[in-house]
A and B are shown apart, each in its own frame.
Chain A
């Protein structure tokens, strides 16, 4: 049953550009990017118990590095991508050293503060980042000579990256290291007493999440061909966190569903309601009240109880 559903989903994702218009193809591309970003945040929030309010740092910095490397330094896209991802991962390694001095609320505040610093820099260092005007005139890469300028080809590119990212993160959380990560989330003291190094486990996960956050940032800047300080803002981090929690943190499908939901609300509701944030808040409130563990676990529970009831 679930296998059939998954197969239908896979096929419809693969052939989406053949039946959907450009608007929807672009929307789907954005959803894929948001999904990678939410999945990477979920490694911290859901599997590691590290609630971060600064994850947009990684998306934003990867995007800015790529933009700067290709415009100011005339680098090719391939090299710029490598520099961008390597730089973002290094930054995650450094941020992890600072933020993981604390857990819980302290961790949250440090991630928030670090991301605010970057956001401030992006605004104020205008000779580098062009400040509030953002960096314009960017191009999309041509992987293996295939131009990504039409919506369909960009969508397939994003789909390939997203499937790969999903698989890599799924392997990570189901690995034996993933079990230790969940163990440290649930009983850190016990884990230490059993011989595990909780700090190292958290730090490695933080760096890995930063890496995938960077990958989503790269896709983000390719898609928009533009980057602005808002992508580094707390709002951007909070939106992703909202998606993760609404969809179901600590599950693999949850962040994908949640991120898509936030994106759709943003795109559709903003057309009708000016204060779409308010609507997002209401929807979020509804989800938390009705399905406290998130949409994906909530629906699963509903389906099993319905099946149980019909028997």
Chain B
């Protein structure tokens, strides 16, 4: 879309967002390279999800800039950003619970295709969508449940459907909002392996509290507190930093 290959997949400059007097995002600047694995950490209320919501366009920042592959998308609607290769999952599961797993993933595929405006052919007409949806479900290990409605499956499986919907879109930037929340140990390792297997053309930005699992997946880490970037850099540098211990690890 942009002629020279931009240096950053996602670039945030001086982003500010306040709710009344509370500053939820304070002068945040971040730069994420294509294919990077970034972990965003910080205590509850640090403004992590608020930051995600501004990146996706669900929230308008008060000031600052958001760029996707060099294009200023700060004033783009959420759906337009999706067409720029941005995809996300939700902390609170946001699926179409009455529909089958296959239908959920198919919607993810449909969102980026012109067939979404088709008014006389049923979804089932598009065999390639169904094939692709099944392939993605297979990738997350849920192919055997493809025909079941989401309301029938277990919580841990729903988390994986969240991921499948986003992965089906083959995003260039993927935002994962606590993908491990509420999972058992076995489920954690399944999802961890899944995230690790995300192809390198996708940059992954992840909010996660489970440090043991998440740190293994991350190359770079950003620590947020009270809406500010406290520490930002290579994983080991951030972990070793005493401000990280102070804010997050609590000692």
Contact = CB atoms under 8 A, between A and B. Distances in A.
A183 B111 CA distance: 11
B122 A176 contact: yes
A176 B118 contact: yes
Contacts of B165: 194
Contacts of A172: 119-120
B63 interface: no
A195 B119 contact: no
A195 B115 contact: no
Contacts of B88: 193
A133 interface: no
A191 B106 CA distance: 12
Interface of B: 56-58, 77-79, 82-83, 87-88, 90, 94-98, 103, 107-108, 110-112, 115-123, 125-126, 165, 169
B79 A197 contact: yes
Contacts of B95: 187, 190
Nearest to A199: B77
A192 B77 contact: yes
B119 A180 contact: no
Given A186-B98, A190-B90, A194-B82, A176 B110 contact: yes
Contacts of B97: 186
B79 A196 contact: yes
A12 interface: no
Interface string A177-213: 1111011001101111111111000000000000000
B110 A189 contact: no
A193 B82 contact: yes
A179 B82 contact: no
A31 to B, nearest CB: 27
Contacts of A187: 94-96
B213 to A, nearest CB: 24
Contacts of A171: 119-120
Contacts of B58: 189, 192-193
Given A195-B79, A195-B83, A180 B96 contact: no
A186 B123 CA distance: 18
At the interface, is chain A mostly helix, strand, loop or mixed?
Answer: helix
A175 interface: yes
Nearest to B123: A176
Given A179-B103, A186-B96, A193-B58, 6 more contacts: A186-B98, A189-B58, A189-B78, A193-B56, A194-B79, A195-B111
Contacts, number: 89
Contact of B94 (A174, A180, A189): A189
Interface of A: 171-172, 174-180, 182-183, 186-187, 189-198
Contacts of B121: 175-176
A127 to B, nearest CB: 41
Most chain B beta-carbon contacts within 10 A, residue among A183, A189, A195, A196 = A195
A74 B78 CA distance: 51
A178 B94 CA distance: 20
Q: Top 3 closest A-B pairs, CB basis?
A: A195-B111, A194-B111, A195-B82
Given A190-B94, A192-B78, A179 B123 contact: yes
Nearest to B53: A189
B77 A179 contact: no
24 contacts: A176-B123, A176-B126, A177-B118, A178-B119, A179-B107, A179-B123, A180-B107, A183-B96, A186-B97, A186-B98, A189-B58, A190-B90, A190-B95, A191-B107, A192-B58, A192-B77, A192-B79, A193-B58, A193-B82, A194-B165, A194-B169, A195-B111, A195-B116, A196-B110
Given A175-B121, A176-B126, A177-B119, A193 B78 contact: yes
B117 to A, nearest CB: 6
A201 to B, nearest CB: 9
B110 to A, nearest CB: 6
B108 A194 contact: yes
A148 B180 CA distance: 67
Contacts of B117: 177
B110 A180 contact: yes
B118 A196 contact: no
Contact of A175 (B94, B98, B112, B120): B120
